[in-house]
Structure formats: structure tokens, C-alpha cells
Structure 1
Amino acid sequence: MDQISNISQLFAAQKYKLTPQREAIVNILLDNEKDHLSVEEVYMLVKLSYPHLGLATVYRTLELLCELHIVEKMNFGDGVARYDLRGNDHSHMHHHLICSVCGRLEEIKDDWLVELEKRVEREYGFNVTDHRLDFKGTYGTCKRTGCKKEKANKAVS
């Protein structure tokens, strides 16, 4: 079963409709999954198919997708809320590597925290239902060569 069908079932289970406009927003997220789009970026892309769709509708749809645990609202330290699809293949959100020099973002699909979750439950009686982990640092290539973003920042100052 494809992701749109799964998402449609999640909507129906919660008594919501996956309208053509909502489906267009979901498709934008699916087509740009690696980009972690902001509301404004989703809005600009969906306007190509639905020019009369308002920014408020995009906001509401993204918030509904978060409420239904289809999308995760994220902030990678740049002050911009971004939206990331939750994968069907894992029970938890995937993790991220975030370079503080160039801003490159890489996803880690493996769930390395299963043992930690078991320990938390055992030692604290706390049942973990979800988690998210972001690693912030610097890629070796950015340290050695300096990256375009770092060079651009120096040129401005």
C-alpha cells in the first residue's frame, strides 16, 4: 500500500477527509522528503497546483498532520519550523545530524535507542512512546576545507 493510501486511512480513522488540497500538501512533503520544508516553502510549492489556496490552510493542514502523527514539526536551531514526514517503517521518528558550519542535514533511519528506552522503562517505570534525537556538530570536510557557507559569512563581515 502506498503512503497516500496509508495517510488517507489515518485521516478516515480520525474522522477527517483527505481533501484534494490536503493531499496536494502531503504530496509536496513526499516529493521533498529530504528537504524538511518550512510552511512558507510548502505554501509556495502547493500554490503551483492550487493558486487560490491560502497560507492559513497550509498552516492548519500541517498542524493537523502533526496532530495525526503523520508529520513531525522540527526546529534545527535556525528559528524556522520545518516539517518532516514520519516513516511507516519505524515506530519512532528518525534522527538527524546537523552541521553547525554548513547547515547540512542528514537523516539516520536506524533506531539506536531501543536499549535506552527499555532501561528508562525498567528504572523509572516510564513507557517511552516516541523519541527524537538530533546530533549537532561539524562534518570533517567542513573543518578541513571550510565550506561555502563559512566562506560566505567571512566575506560579508
Structure 2
Amino acid sequence: MNPMDTIAQQFTAHNYKLTSQREAIVKVLLDNEKDHLSVEEVYMLVKGSFPQLGLATVYRTLELLCELHIVEKMNFGDGVSRYDLRSEGHDHMHHHLICQSCGKVAEIKDDWLEELEKRLEKEYGFAVTDHRLDFKGNYRICKGSGCKREKDGQPIS
């Protein structure tokens, strides 16, 4: 099943309608999955298809997507809320490496915490239902160099 069908089912299961505006917002998130978009970025990308769409609608839709556990709202330390799609077929949110020099965010899809979760269950009777882990630091190339950015905002590799 494709991701849009899965998301449509989640809307239906919770008695929400997947309106054309909501669908356009979800498509923007799917098309830009690795970019961790802010509300304003989603708004600018959807505005081309729906010029009448308001910023408040984008905010409300993203909050609904969080409520339905379709996206995760996160902050990488830059004061901007960003939205990240939850991976289909994974019990937990993926993790991130965040470079404090250049701002690059890389994703880790592997769940390295399964053993810890089992231990928490066994030793504390605590069943983990979700987790998210962000590692902050510096890439080797950035450390000590101040990591100058290229024109397009991407770190120098």
C-alpha cells in the first residue's frame, strides 16, 4: 500500500476527512521527506497548488497530523518547529544526527534501542511505546573549521 493510502486510512479511522488541502499538505511532506520542513516551508510549497490556502490551515493540519501520529513535531535547536514523517513499518520514530556547526541533519533509520526497551520492560515493568533520539555534535569536517556553508545552504562535504 502506498503512503498516501495508509494516511487516508488513518484519517478515516479517526473520523477525519482527507480534504484536498490536507492531501496537498501531506503530498508536500512526502515529496520532501528528508528536508524536515517548517510550517512556513510547507505553506510556501502548498501555496502554488492552493493560492487561497491560509497559513493557519497549514498549522492546524500539521497539528492534526501530529495528533494522528503521521508526523512528529521536532526542534533541532534552531528555534524552528519542523515536521518529520513517521516511517511506515517502524514502531518508533527514526533518530537524527544534528551538526551544531553547519546545521546538517542526518537520519538514522535503524532502531538501536530495542535491547534497552526489553531491559526497561523486564527490570521496571515499563513498556516503551515510542522514543526519539537526537545526537548533537559536529562532523569531522566541521570541527574546528567553522564549517563554511556553500551558497545553497548545504554543508561542504
Query: TM-score, normalised on structure 1?
Result: 0.92
Q: As a proportion of its length, which structure holds more helix?
A: 1
How far the C-alpha of 1:145 sits from its partner, in A, is 4.4
Q: Deviations over 1:64-108 (max 9, x none)?
A: 000000000001011110000001031100000000000000000
Provide the rounded CA distance (Å) in 1 between the counterparts of 2:89 and 2:135.
Answer: 22
* DSSP 3-state at the match of 1:72: strand
* DSSP 3-state at the match of 1:74: strand
Provide the rounded CA distance (Å) in 1 between the counterparts of 2:108 and 2:2.
Answer: 22
Corresponding pairs, count: 149
How far the C-alpha of 1:143 sits from its partner, in A, is 1.6
Percent pairwise identity:
76
How far the C-alpha of 1:144 sits from its partner, in A, is 5.7
How far the C-alpha of 1:47 sits from its partner, in A, is 0.4
For structure 1, which runs of at least 5 residues remain unmatched after alignment? 150-157
**1:37 corresponds to which letter in structure 2?**
L
For residues 85-96 of structure 1, the aligned pairs below 5 Å read: 85-96=85-96
For structure 2, which runs of at least 5 residues remain unmatched after alignment? 150-157
Provide the rounded CA distance (Å) in 1 between the counterparts of 2:140 and 2:146.
Answer: 9
Correspondence 1:24 to 2:34: no
Q: Deviations over 1:37-68 (max 9, x none)?
A: 00011011110100000111100000000000
Provide the rounded CA distance (Å) in 2 between the counterparts of 1:107 and 1:54.
Answer: 30
**1:56 corresponds to which letter in structure 2?**
A
Provide the rounded CA distance (Å) in 2 between the counterparts of 1:82 and 1:146.
Answer: 24
Provide the rounded CA distance (Å) in 1 between the counterparts of 2:138 and 2:92.
Answer: 25
How far the C-alpha of 1:18 sits from its partner, in A, is 0.7
**Structure 1 segments (4+ residues) deviating >4 Å:** none
For residues 5-154 of structure 1, the aligned pairs below 5 Å read: 5-143=5-143, 145-149=145-149
Residue of structure 2 equivalent to 1:154: none
Query: TM-score, normalised on structure 2?
Result: 0.92
Provide the rounded CA distance (Å) in 2 between the counterparts of 1:77 and 1:116.
Answer: 26
How far the C-alpha of 1:148 sits from its partner, in A, is 1.1
Report the aligned-residue RMSD. 0.9
Provide the rounded CA distance (Å) in 2 between the counterparts of 1:129 and 1:146.
Answer: 39
How far the C-alpha of 1:124 sits from its partner, in A, is 1.3
